[in-house]
Amino acid sequence: MKAKFEKLLHKRVEGKIVLVTGASSGIGLTTAHKLADAGAHVLLLARTQETLDAVKTDIVARGGQASVYACDLNDLEAIDRVSAQILADVGHIDILINNAGRSIRRAVHESFDRFHDFERTMQLNYFGSVRLIMNLLPKMMLRRQGHIINISSIGVLANATRFSAYVASKAALDAFSRCLSAEVHSHNIAISSIYMPLVRTPMIAPTKMYNYVPTLSPEQAADLVAYAVIKRPKKIATSLGYLASMTYAVAPDVNNKLMSIGFNLFPSSSASVGQPQRLNWLQKAYARIFPGEHW
């Protein structure tokens, strides 16, 4: 089964140009390696030149092809510059994977004096991705082919507590993508959203209690991205993500009560500073009932 999967991925991406944002670590890094191994020319985009150079060296050593583009996706003018440079260098992008993102774990009532958390999360996760899409989409439309994959969050489907800033930014990108999808359908351009559950990456490392809850590995997350590349679906979610979406659509009060229980069961980040991070049996049980959810 795995061999067939790898064969299909190779067929889809061999000789194609794939841009991966946030390619220096976590999901982006693992995805970049997987696609390069399958024959894609992977364009690595993140903030730090030195880290990207190291990733490129590893890919080339394994026989792959990679190019490096350092860019701070918080800076819209920098996105314009790097987009122009990319198109000047390679001409077009076949697949764009918007993976770079920022997450903030903090309840709304703990954020009354931190409006900047919402601004900076929206800046990177939404405006940064949209700006990149709008710079690269015209060439896709002219060529009448392309694929845009956005790494969203299970929190968009489940309404994860303490992640209002993060989930709102991902939901905004989700809504933008759903509108765009119909507009570019006749141009043979696919838009895919992956409602990623909790993944063990550097982004979640500061929340130590996540060491004791079920998560995906970066390799498993990269497999979801590879599946999206192969099948070009509108959306990909785990079973829990689909269930959460259904409960909110059919019985929103039930969804609200379940999320409220989790909110009250797990400590806030500020309350847990300097405290033991191990979970008690009830917290562990709840986390296993809702694997991959953000608490």
For 13-70, write each residue's pLDDT tens digit.
999 999 999 999 999 999 999 999 999 999 999 999 999 999 999 999 999 999 999 9
Q: Model-level pTM?
A: 0.89
Segment among 119-123, 166-170, 206-210, 247-251 with least mean pLDDT: 206-210
- Identify whether the C-beta of residue 147 lies closer than 8 Å to the C-beta of residue 227: no
- What pLDDT is stored for residue 262 in this prediction? 77
- What pLDDT is stored for residue 286 in this prediction? 57
d(CA 67, CA 45): 9
Q: Which residues are catalytic?
A: 166
Tell me what the mean pLDDT of segment 67-91 comes to. 98
- What pLDDT is stored for residue 274 in this prediction? 46
Contacts (Cβ under 8 Å, ≥6 apart) of 224 = 194, 196, 216, 236
The pLDDT tens digits of the residues spanning 186-208 come to: 999 999 999 988 786 665 555 55
| Helices 164-184, 115-122: crossing angle, 10 deg rounding | 30
- Identify whether the C-beta of residue 255 lies closer than 8 Å to the C-beta of residue 158: yes
Contacts (Cβ under 8 Å, ≥6 apart) of 59 = 32, 33, 36, 42, 65, 66
The pLDDT tens digits of the residues spanning 269-289 come to: 654 444 546 777 676 775 676
- What pLDDT is stored for residue 37 in this prediction? 97
Q: Which pairs from 54-60 meet CB under 8 Å and 24+ separation?
A: 55/23, 55/24, 55/29, 58/33, 59/32, 59/33
* Domain regions of the chain by residue span: 2-289
Segment among 19-23, 120-124, 127-131, 290-294 with least mean pLDDT: 290-294
- What pLDDT is stored for residue 283 in this prediction? 67
Instruction: Answer yes or no: CATH 3.10.20.30 is held by domain 2-289.
Output: no
